[in-house]
Amino acid sequence: MHREVLSEPLEDEPPQGEMEHLIVSVWADVLNAEVTSRYDDFFLLGGSSMSAIQVSAELTERLGFRVPPRTVYEYTELADLAERLTRLRAATEG
C-alpha cells in the first residue's frame, strides 16, 4: 500500500546558510526585529517601503552588487530572498 506523505515547511525552521544569516543581520538592524525563522516575512516583521530601501542599500553594500528595492518587495520571505540573492551573486560573478 502506498501512502502519500505531505511535507509542509516548518514555520519555526531557523535560518540556514551564509546568505540567510546575512539577511537576518540586515533585517534585525533595519527593522529592530528578531528574525527566528527562514519563513519570516519582511513586511510581517514591520517592513515598509522606506525600510525596504534601507535593506536594499545595506545588502548592496555588504554583498558588493546592486540589490534593487524591488527585489526586497518581490521576495519577502527570508528563504526566498536568500535564494534570489544567491542567484544574483552567481550571475554577477559569472
Taking the C-alpha atoms of residue 48 and residue 51, their distance in angstroms, rounded to an integer, is 5
Q: Shortest CA distance to 69 belongs to which of 11, 30, 35?
A: 30
pLDDT at position 2, please? Answer: 45
Task: Say which amino acid occupies 94.
Answer: G
pLDDT digits (tens, 9 = 90+) for 18-74: 999 999 999 999 999 999 999 999 999 999 999 999 999 999 999 999 999 999 999
pLDDT band at 3 (very low <50, low <70, confident <90, very high): very low
Examine the pLDDT at 13 and tell me if it is beyond 60. yes
C-alpha cell at position 25: 543581520
